[in-house]
Structure 1
């Protein structure tokens, strides 16, 4: 593909602030789940064809960003440790770092030829500083605007995962596009996680799939970390027609399968085939779902914080091998369907109770994406027939592709099942695996026979 070195060149850095001062400074406390995510970073890139932002210093896009930031005080604030030792956001309107870069190829050529490592150049990839002094001036949210040759823009958005989850970043950009188009904001932000309903039964921590899994992770948090392994990523885009066909073929084993059920099962079984058998002959999959709309009294989509639930699905190796793909999809479907409201509130209760046991301080952050193979569902981002991710419209232009990356993934890897630019049941699957395994997965005939479009493959 020729020399690809230096195709992204940063040429300016500025700070965007809200156009309405916060006023009296307030602190936004972070929850137990927020603290648990502190080892990870979050990065999303939204690609737009034939859209230009001109000179950002005077562009209306910058004005609309400042107007949007007025609605999100925690985004323009800075992290601070309070007396208990926990993190909060000091809403002091210190602003968001905005970087501007030029890309020396067209957007089409980039999507054809760039790899996972090069895509990192389109977004800020920075861990939170170790020094408490540096943190107080460090911007936890970053925006990078990348201009391609011939028109087209990629907007990279990054933050510490302690501050936000993928839904937060998506709706922050969606709000920005709506303000820019002078339209009402579809999902206004809210910043308070309500208490569990009075009728909710808080199950003891060792009684649910999620709480026992989180308790194990908390105990492992202080243990020595496994040596880091070089990871690689790849993006697979599956068409609406292919997913419909695949769901039809497994209907006898999993009659109510969703695209997530099928794709999670497909990649789980194929990744398992690449790995050495476990000594106990079981295969595990950590499943992450967003619980905003799964509560009896749903959280607003605009809730600005981590609303994620992690639980572990385990299956005997012989059962997986004999049951086939349809059976694996049924196992995933049943596991996700069995996650009820008590499960989510109990996980929240566990993380909050660790603060009481620690003298007011939350437990150390965990490796939430690992060490088990982790699969994330973003099905909640499809409302009706419309994807929130692809309704982030600038100048009447929808994204042609959206990437989502998580920093500091460890262990067996990460699978993200996302909406796709094509409507219907089409899905995009982003996979992060150890480098040697990724090389094999990209040639796996069980996946390639479904004719996915393969993008952005390479080392991280």
Structure 2
């Protein structure tokens, strides 16, 4: 099983095939590396049922010398990333490891039978997963990365790509990969709240019946609209962030589609990246999963009748109140689930048993900062920056997934991607409260 890989497009009979594979390539490091197997953490193993897909879209080809015609910056970068070129295998005790055998990164070079703008208007998630190195009619380029979630989370994939652009420009890599943290940092930070994770495990097992067909839509929201909405809820939540606002809004609208009973509670599973100071900093270059899942539960009646500002305030307080003790309890719980020979317990679905909302706020470069964390700073030698970046998590079922991400527009603008059961998504795309935000709709269709 390759660490980073891509697939040849497969379509049902009668469907139009718009992505045509022209060649297959395997990229290896520019010098031999060797190295012992890369061991995966307890949290890495917990993400084993999911995959990560990140696609960067460019209006024009960002490579001066053509797509890989004379450029070997990727091979130079791979010298820093032995696990990316490796293959998964079972190690001692039966746990997964990555054998750093320099087998290489598999890529497909392809062409897309439509323009970039038409693709962004009409492609669905299954089509988008076929993009690796793709040139569009009339110009434009998409570069996609895919990997098992237990190897890397969305931040890892983003920083790998940004490191490639820095290597391509002949600059030092700002966030070189770090594979092992000091013990204190690892125990304090790479974890999940024990009550939240137990609940997700129970909910996942109880929802193992055949799931509904899922579909995905992306809503791009402008700086002006987000600023206006934050002003409207300022009295109830003066410190609200765009994430607080959008997590609350989409949670309310989706729950109204599901018609919750008023004698029940409903929970939102909030997923945050913890590459920031908690009780000790985790470098942004940490290669692996550094996620925290926690549950925010509200009475269904309150969720249905309270104003947007009130629910945004609940989200804001929940995120602000997270502390190190909760994080520590989760990693201990994962470790405690090992069997007698040290094998980790079977993973369960992390995204979707409860409606899940991922925050990518940490990938927004603060004003005046020189750290360039934003995915929209990923420019190759021509200085061309992405016009759109897609994040998708594979194998999402059940209640669904909301991802709040940066947008190419500066300021408060955000992009929200929603995966829901097909019929619910169709209703959400016509929901008046969502349409009042005047979103630009992108990449809507089946997963």
- Normalising by structure 1, we get a TM-score of 0.88
Instruction: Quickly say closer, same or farther: Cα 1:443–1:211, change in 2 above 3 A.
Output: same
Q: 1 CA distance for matches of 2:295 and 2:99?
A: 35
Q: Does 1:417 align with 2:417?
A: no
Deviation, structure 1 residue 258: 0.5
Bigger shift: 113-122 or 445-454? 113-122
Change (3 A) 1:43 1:320: same
Q: Per-residue deviation at 1:411?
A: 0.4
Q: Which residue of 2 aligns with 1:365?
A: 347
Is 1:171 equivalent to 2:159 in the alignment? yes
Q: Hey, what does 1:13 align to over in structure 2?
A: 24
CA contact (8 A) 2:360 2:404 kept: yes
Equivalence for 1:335 = 318
Aligned position for 1:353: 336
What does residue 289 of structure 1 align with?
Answer: 272
* 1:201–1:342 CA contact under 8 A, matched in 2: no
Q: How does 1:153-172 map to 2 (within 5 A)?
A: 153-172=141-160
* Structure 1, 168-177 or 239-248: larger mean CA deviation: 239-248
How big is the shift at 1:49?
A: 0.9
Partner of 1:30: 40
Give CA deviations for 1:156-185 in whole Å, capped at 9, x if unaligned. Answer: 100000000000000000000000011111
Tell me which residue corresponds to 1:190.
178
Q: Distance in 2 between matches of 1:94 and 1:107?
A: 32
Identify if the C-alpha distance between structure 1 residues 341 and 102 changes in structure 2 by more than 3 Å, giving closer, same or farther: same
Q: Are 1:34 and 1:161, in contact at CA under 8 Å, matched by a contact in 2?
A: yes
CA contact (8 A) 1:375 1:417 kept: yes
Contact 1:221/1:364 (8 A) holds in 2: no
- Residue 92 of structure 1 corresponds to 101
Q: Kindly state the Cα deviation for residue 84 of structure 1 after the two structures are TM-superposed.
A: 0.7
Look up the match of 1:136: none
User: 1:428/1:67 Cα in 2 relative to 1: closer, same or farther (>3 Å)?
Assistant: same
Q: Quick check: 411-420 or 107-116, which moved more?
A: 107-116
The answer to whether the 8 A contact 1:98-1:145 is kept is yes
Hey, what's the Cα distance between the residues in 2 that align with 1:397 and 1:113? 24
1:248 aligns with 2:248: no
| 1:379 and 2:390 aligned | no
Query: Quick one: which of 405, 411, 414 aligns to 2:392?
Result: 405
Give the superposition deviation at 1:387: 5.0
TM superposition shift of 1:345: 2.3
Cα root mean square deviation, aligned: 2.2
Distance 1:371 1:224, change over 3 A: closer
Secondary structure at 1:84's aligned position in 2? helix
Q: Please, which moves more after superposition, 3-12 or 261-270?
A: 3-12
Q: Is the 8 A contact 1:39 1:367 kept in 2?
A: yes
Matched, 1:310 2:293: yes
Q: 2:244, 2:202 → 1: CA distance?
A: 30
* Deviation string, structure 1 residues 230-266 (Cα, Å, up to 9, x no partner): 0000000011111111111101111110000000000
Which residue is equivalent to 2:115? 106
Q: Counterpart of 2:69? A: 58
- The unaligned stretches of length 5 or more in structure 1 are 123-143
Note closer, same or farther for the CA distance 1:26–1:114 as it changes in structure 2 (3 Å cut). Answer: same
Between the aligned partners of 1:354 and 1:150, the Cα distance in structure 2 is 54
Match of 1:391 in 2: 377
Tell whether the 8 Å contact from 1:196 to 1:345 is kept in structure 2 after alignment: no
CA-CA distance at 1:67 after TM superposition? 0.6
Alignment-derived partner of residue 452 in structure 1 = 439
Change (3 A) 1:201 1:174: closer
1:118 is the counterpart of 2:100: no
Work out whether 1:210 is the aligned partner of 2:193.
Answer: yes
Judged with a 3 Å threshold, the aligned counterparts in structure 2 of structure 1 residues 160 and 280 are, in CA distance, closer, same or farther, namely farther
Secondary structure of 1:172's partner?
A: helix
